Amino acid sequence: MILGLDISTSITGATVIDDKGNVVFCEAWDTRKIKSFFDKGAYIRSKLVDIKIKHPITKIVVEQSLQMFRSGFSSAKTLTLLSKFNGVVSWVCYDLFELEPEYVSASSARKQAGIKIPRGSKAKEVVLEYVKNNISSFRYELTKAGNPKPGTYDRSDSVILARCAFLSQHN
């Protein structure tokens, strides 16, 4: 079974895909209200322990953290914090599952899954549409304003990461 993780200090998406390519677990873990960096890590660890108990994970794939600045996006402080948290969660995965996580960029994962992002489109919206149309078990709710509830994009990203690893094993 493959575990795909879209790690963030606010909401982490986690998906488990079985040996046939079926999504058997898909959640978003909201840590926005947890103020302490270490408490966030402990919360994610407890969620990973639950996965370990229920699913025999043989591979872990993690979205590679951003490596450079883009105008109008994350600051150096944010990128550093995200990289630190990615490292903490990666270590927890290694410690719990005795597997070294593999790191895949979001664009590589999308490409492996056959997702093309049209110019001018928002990648997260295109990915969600793909997951909604191709993973029958994927469900989500909308806010009163008609937008996907928080965590939906994180879940869909984690599905693509796990699917990317599955496809690379079976191609």
* Digit-coded pLDDT (tens) for 46-61: 999 999 999 999 999 9
Q: Which domain holds residue 22?
A: 2-169
Torsional sign, CA 18, 24, 26, 27: negative
Q: How many domains does the chain have?
A: 1
pLDDT per residue over 93-132, tens digit each?
999 999 999 999 888 899 888 898 889 888 889 999 999 9
72: pLDDT strictly greater than 60: no
> Do the bridges between strand 11-17 and strand 2-6 make them parallel or antiparallel, or are there none, so unpaired?
antiparallel
9: pLDDT strictly greater than 50: yes
In this prediction, residue 66 carries a pLDDT of 57
Which CATH number characterizes residue 137's domain?
A: 3.30.420.10
